[in-house]
Amino acid sequence: MAHELQIGEVAERSNVSIDTIRYYERRKLLPVAPRTAKGFRVFTPETVSRVLFIKQAQELGFTLDEIRTLLTTNGTSDCLRVHDLLDAKLKELDARMKAMREFREKLKHYVAECEAELKKHPDSAECPVVVEIAHVERN
């Protein structure tokens, strides 16, 4: 095998734990590594690239099952599956961004209410925003 790596080397180069490498193997995100006569797993440098891809995909919001789908495609015949997965992820992201924009506007409204209250009553003990939020939660 060309340039074999032990599990610790893969973990170090990928900036993950050894347990993470084992977990990815169990979840079938990594091919089962062949073993030496003494039972040690041996990996190729491509394993490092694959682990880095998995971590990047997780950071982008993909689940491990979705990542497995991306990793198990066999060329153009699976392009439609990949397209559908990516399209669904885009729609999910658009929905989350819309919710975040709405939440941002609500927070801006609350900040303005606090500022108005503090201008009128600098020593106010009761914040109208807390009262408003508590009222909304009860309804």
- At 57-88, the pLDDT tens digits run 999 889 999 999 888 765 555 788 888 989 99
- At 19-65, the pLDDT tens digits run 999 999 999 999 889 999 999 899 999 999 999 999 999 998 899 99
Which domains are delineated in the chain? 1-72 (1.10.1660.10)
- At 77-133, the pLDDT tens digits run 578 888 898 999 999 999 999 999 999 999 999 999 888 888 888 887 678 788 777
Check: CB of residue 5 under 8 Å from CB of residue 42: yes
